[in-house]
Structure 1
Amino acid sequence: MEQHAQDFLLQDGFLLLGTALVFVLLFRRLGLGATLGYLLAGAVLGPYVLNLIGDPQGKIGIAELGITLLLFIVGLELAPRRLWRMRGEIFGLGLLQVALCGLAVTAVIHLLAGFSLEAALALGLPLGLSSTAQVLPMLRSAGRLHTPFGERSFAILLFQDLSIIPLITIIAAMNRNPGLPAGPPGWQLALTTVLAIAGLIAAGRFLIRPLFRLIGNLGEREMFVFAALFTVIAAAALMQILGLSTALGAFVAGVMLADSPYRHELEADVEPFRSILLGLFFMSVGMMLDLSAIAQRPAFVISMAFALIAVKSTVIFFLGLLFRMEWRNALALGLLLSQGGEFGFVLFAQASQAWLIRPEAASLFGAIVTLSMVTTPFLMMATRRIREMPANKEEREGPQDEEANALVVGYGRFGQTVAQILLAADIKVTLIDTDTQMIDVAGGFGAKVYFGDGTRIDLLRQAGAANAELILFCIDGDQLTENFLHAVHNAFPKAEIHARVFDRGGLLRLKDAPLRSITREVMESAVVVARHALEGLGVSLEDIDRAEDIYRARDKERLSLQLEAGDLRAARDRILTQPIREEGGE
């Protein structure tokens, strides 16, 4: 019996790995991404096509460790203070996305598909969530996870993970099955979550860090792998025992180790396991794709998948505009998060047990989720030209690694002055911008400006940032975030980073960013205008210098107090509102 089970394990492993290898290589070659390859490989091996692999539900339980490891790695890249700075988008944009998308999809299912309100809620609210397992790898492979766009995407996904608890509570509250034991009330789940997170934080500080310090002192390289996997699985197991999100537990464990000296070692150790298990997860999803349900009601499945994508894309697009995203980025965000998520399978099963929906409906909407996940890579490819900045119908040359000493991102009025002074000092400069009209004008004057989005880590690397001594962001300051600048600093530690902001509000927003210098563009020009005005009145040069010194001293003091308080309204008494008389002092 034991030998028989071992033979099946080896056979399943051979088929899973071999089929994944073939399909992923093929789909990568076609530019369709690995996720679609894994899904199709699973569908081919599953019970509805070749039926070579059994028990996809059992395998998805193991494969969900891939999502857990993925969230742990993401947590390693987000130090607690960086996560705290994202709180507005997590609980603002994330909350609105989950609520509005869930209710909008519920309305579509109730009004158009004819489900009862309870059944529509049990189906629609889970469909408002997106696939963390699909979206995060897409952002990582594109080098956009630590850009402002990537951070907004991650903020939404993180809140979706937190929202599992209230969604479970809502489904439990609507339970129609008298034989199903009542779950704990919502307040108890929320309190349990807070206590569990606090426990993980304490364990990370007082147990896990000393453990890694001990292993580091012993010099046992392979023990890091054991300890890393133990940390992830222990955090996930604790959350599972408490009936909470295992991925959330792993994420908190990662955040607690993000600012430790072992972060990069842990990431390197866990990454191979994450890749394999996440691939197995998508294959399990593909195996669970009920092709017979699709064959029985193909029009319903396809139309509902289309409605799901259209509703979520539209809602998220307008939310992006509300949060002051450029419309192309808002459209990209909507399409990227338009699919259903892996937590839908869990919540559909719970709704079926609670007699809110029939098992056939759970299977049918599981197929809708899978179909929506399949469409995401195609949607992103099909809309690439719309989402990217227009290039005047000409193919633009991207930046190349030319071993420049400095990268200047943004070649507008500000960047032109900066670049020309650097060139006058015999510094080799690579210029990057997205304004194609400006690129053409600059080319007419002999300046070589490369087309590209300088807020993408992968593009900066392609432009030679790894060897550059300077990276100067001369773009509008609101395009920069502290998290992005930290990511640039971590990716290119040899380069000094300089940035421009419009005013003191922008400076306050980037106060903790790893910048060698940060300049308010409106300040120096305003000082020059004031000096010219005083000269015109016949004020002596000595008095002009004295007036400038007084202003600069007060402004420096006020700015220091504002940075300390984190409040733009601080130290208002340092603003000059009345003339200063020399006899009486200030």
Structure 2
Amino acid sequence: MAAHGGIDLVQVVILLAAGVLAVPIFRRLGLGSVLGYLAAGLVVGPFGLKVVSDPQAILHAAELGVVLFLFIIGLEMEPQRLWSLRKQIFGLGVLQVLTCGALLTGVGILLGFSAPVAFVFGMGFVLTSTAIVMQVLEERGELATEPGQKVVSILLLEDLAIVPLLAIVAILAPTGEEGDFTSRLVGIGVALGSVIGLVAVGRWILNPVFKFLADSKAREVMTGAALLVVLGAALVMEVGGLSMAMGAFLAGVLLSTSTFKHQLEADVEPFRGLLLGLFFLSVGMALNVSVVLENWQIIVLSVIGFMVVKAGAIYVIARLTRSSHGEALERAVMMAQGGEFAFVLYTTAVSAGLISGPTNDIFTATVIVSMVVTPFTLIGLRYIMPKPVQSMEGIEQIPDGLHGRVLIIGFGRFGQIASQPLLALKHRVSIIDNDTDMIRAATQLRFKVYYGDGTRLDILRAAGASTSDIIMICVDKKESATRIAELLRDECPLVRVYARAFDRGHAIELVNAGVEYQIRETFESALVFGGRVAQALGASAEEAAEVLQGVRERDAKRFELQQMGTGGIAAGLNLLISNAEEQAREGGVPAPSPEEESSIEGRQPV
């Protein structure tokens, strides 16, 4: 039991342990971290182990995780970039909110609620969970993609929509007073003043303040200042009747062009991750299982009806705005749930006397259940998503009679660099690749690249493999490179084949497959890098060149020995150790001990 006035460390330790244990397990099972946190919260909450008796208090504190998350997103959204998304925010976002709001209000009426109550129920469900969607996009690395930016734009509009929705709830309230209209006008004025004030502070005050703090060289002060900016912006917006998350996002946007941007992000990131995990834990704890059991029929119907109708509307809107079937389907499933801002709307409706406490419990349980269901629907989406089909628009197939003195298979980073000396010497070069995006990019740089899969014998024949003087295998997949080398050995034995190798083991595979020359993709660059460091440490250019040549020769000897099999590998390693001993004697460096020699023998050569 905690000491009087102290912290209940038992509760804190159990909450941390629940998250630390659940999340890795769920991620290993492919269920995602969000579902892990939700499940852990349900286990330790008042309807599980009863470790926490007041999850709402933790939920309110954990909302700071969402606030910090949106601050970091704002840091990545420079004003120009945000302005470029204005059509998506106020076009696509408004269209989705209004359409889904109207449809979900209709679903609420069909479920037996009065029109005002159905409107509150439906509009609350329209507000998608920013925390869940952003977390999913971040884990997939899709925040910066075009589909991801569309989702972010819609979420920003939904966050803005909470302001007029709260005003509408006040209008629909059954107990209206004469001063309500005036108070609402005052509220709108305060909200606008909050935004203007925050913009002014961000534009003219924050940078000088951070410069002053940075000069103090006190890292903890910078961390405190970063948290002060985020929480201060959230507080200003909350006082103005707006969303705390929107305030943090706006503060991030204002600081996105600051020279302290990366420092701020590094300072806030640890708190963001911890509090966001705590938010998902508290959502799981807040699920009132007794309410769900008592009203399971209406909650199940509401969850199914709202999620299906909302997903269907989002899909149709996405298709009408020229999104692909796969993108529209993914957006529909990802955004079909309700979100944390619904809790704010429902609580306000209770305070205004528009809905009762038990009704609020049903609405809140419906939203939480939809949030819990979302990770499962995303898993199911993997099995119905169409496989990505590469667009062939603007891509030329290999013509009949394609001939070049050199055939390059694979035109990624390695192939592009390797082709430059040949093109500079005016050699006739033919290039094939099976990555359509890369081919389009190469075309813009005036490279002629044909579409073709080098692992297919018919493609190799059409590309003129049998009439080429040299074939360069520059693909980035080991298995594909080996397969191409084997096909060329069997079908074009007289053609010289040069290949890019991944590592030493792959290089041996390529030699056995008949290539005339191979090079490990990082070998020469690593040698040059080491040589430059040696020169920086005092070696002359001639000394560095001599050492590098020695490394190349010893590596070539080891490689020859390793081609002989296990005995050759052992001999190669012994040669490596003996060379190390010789260098150690010459340079005064201690030779490896027997234990170190044993350790070297157990390593995989590079």
For normalisation by structure 2, the TM-score amounts to: 0.66
Partner of 2:349: 351
- The equivalent residue for 1:88 is 87
Distance 1:130 1:410, change over 3 A: same
| Residue aligning to 2:309 | 311
Write the letter of the residue equivalent to 1:92. G
Aligned pair in 2 of structure 1 residues 383, 206: CA closer, same or farther (>3 Å)? Answer: same
Alignment match, 2:170: 172
The alignment status of 1:410 with 2:425, answered yes or no, reads no
Higher mean alpha-carbon deviation, 158-167 vs 32-41, is at: 32-41
CA shift in 2, pair 1:260/1:405, >3 Å: farther
Partner letter of residue 81 of structure 1? Q
Q: Is the 8 A contact 2:159 2:246 kept in 1?
A: yes
Q: 1:194 to 1:144 in 2, by over 3 A?
A: same
Q: CA deviation at 1:3?
A: 2.8
Gaps of 5+ in 1: 393-398, 424-430, 452-586
Deviates more, 1:20-29 or 1:185-194: 185-194
Shift of the 39–411 alpha-carbon distance from structure 1 to 2, 3 Å rule, reads closer
C-alpha distance in 2 between matches for 1:284 and 1:108:
28
What is the CA–CA distance in structure 2 between the aligned matches of 1:404 and 1:211, rounded to whole Å?
A: 49
Which residues in structure 2 correspond to 1:333-352 (within 5 Å)?
Answer: 333-352=331-350
- 1:382, CA displacement in angstroms? 1.2
Structure 2 residue aligned with 1:15: 14
The answer to whether the 8 A contact 2:147-2:327 is kept is yes
| Paired residue secondary structure (1:107) | helix
Highest Rg: 1 or 2? 2
2:581 is aligned to: none
Match runs of 1:143-154 below 5 Å: 143-154=141-152
- Residue equivalent to 1:34: 33
In structure 2, do the counterparts of structure 1 residues 167 and 419 end up closer, same or farther at CA, with 3 Å as the change threshold? same
Percentage of identical aligned residues: 38
TM superposition shift of 1:293: 1.2
TM superposition shift of 1:251: 0.7
Residues 290, 364 of structure 1: 8 Å contact kept:
no
Closer/same/farther in 2, CA of residues 55 and 283 from structure 1, 3 Å limit: same
**Uncovered stretches (5+) of structure 2, i.e. residues with no partner:** 391-409, 418-432, 466-472, 478-606
Query: Quick one: distance in 1 between partners of 2:216 and 2:172?
Result: 55
CA distance in 1, matches of 2:24, 2:63: 23
Q: Give 1:4 deviation, angstroms.
A: 2.6
Deviation of 1:355 (Å): 2.3
Give the aligned partner of residue 275 of structure 1: 273
Native 8 Å contact 1:106 1:121 kept in 2: yes
Counterpart CA distance in 1 for 2:364 and 2:300 is 12
Query: Which residue pairs with 1:320 in the alignment?
Result: 318
1:476-515 matches, within 5 Å, as none
User: How far is 1:198 from its partner?
Assistant: 1.8
Find the counterpart in structure 1 of residue 137 from structure 2: 139
Distance 2:217 2:48 in 1: 50
- CA displacement 1:34-61 (0-9 Å, x = unmatched): 1111111111111122211121111111
Cα offset, 1:281, TM superposition: 1.0
Indicate conservation of the 8 Å contact 1:63/1:277, yes or no.
Answer: yes
Structure 2 Cα separation of the partners of residues 11 and 365 of structure 1: 32
Distance in structure 2 (CA, Å) of the matches to 1:122 and 1:214: 48
Structure 1 letter corresponding to 2:436: G
Q: What's the secondary structure of 1:115's corresponding residue?
A: coil
In structure 2, C-alpha distance between the alignment counterparts of 1:439 and 1:361, rounded to whole Å: 64
Q: Distance in 2 between matches of 1:114 and 1:105?
A: 13
Q: How many residues align?
A: 434
Partner of 1:64: 63
What's the secondary structure of 2:6's corresponding residue? Answer: helix
- Match of residue 480 from structure 1: none
Which residues of 2 match residues 57-456 of structure 1 at below 5 A? 57-111=56-110, 113-177=111-175, 182=180, 187-390=185-388, 410=436, 414=440, 421=447, 445=463
CA contact (8 A) 1:328 1:386 kept: no
In structure 2, relative to structure 1, the CA distance for the partners of 1:182 and 1:58 (3 Å cut) is farther
Q: Which has the higher contact order (CA 8 A, sep 6+)?
A: 1
Alignment correspondent of 1:45: 44
Contact 1:439 1:449 in 2 (8 A): no
Between the aligned partners of 2:284 and 2:457, the Cα distance in structure 1 is 48
AA matched with 1:133? A
State the shift of 1:252 in Å: 0.7
Query: 1:464-502 CA deviation, whole Å, 9 max, x = no partner?
Result: xxxxxxxxxxxxxxxxxxxxxxxxxxxxxxxxxxxxxxx
CA apart distance, 1:411: 5.3
Structure 1 residue 242 displacement after superposition: 2.0
The verdict on how the C-alpha distance between 1:192 and 1:401 changes in structure 2, with shifts beyond 3 A counting, is farther
Q: Which amino acid aligns with 2:32?
A: G
The answer to whether the 8 Å contact 2:453/2:459 transfers is: no
Between 1:186-195 and 1:234-243, the stretch displaced more is 186-195
Show CA shifts across 1:209-240 (max 9, x none): 11111222333222221110010011111112
- Deviation (angstroms), 1:372: 0.8
Q: Is 2:414–2:474's contact at 8 Å kept on the other side of the alignment? A: no
Distance 2:150 2:81 in 1: 13
Distance 1:437 1:326, change over 3 A: farther
Structure 2 distance, partners of 1:162, 1:307, is 25
Distance change (3 Å), C-alpha of 1:205 and 1:412 = closer
**Which AA in structure 2 matches 1:4?**
H
Query: For 1:93 and 1:177, how far apart are their aligned partners in 2?
Result: 35
Does the 8 A contact of 1:106 with 1:123 survive in 2?
A: yes
- Mark the CA change 1:21 to 1:2 in structure 2 (over 3 Å): closer, same or farther: closer
In the TM superposition, residue 389 of structure 1 has moved relative to its aligned partner by 2.7
Distance 2:280 2:103 in 1: 27
Counterpart in the other structure of 1:4: 4
Shift of 1:416: 7.2
Alpha-carbon distance, 1:303 to partner: 2.2
Task: Answer yes or no: is the 8 Å Cα contact 1:442–1:449 preserved in 2.
Answer: no
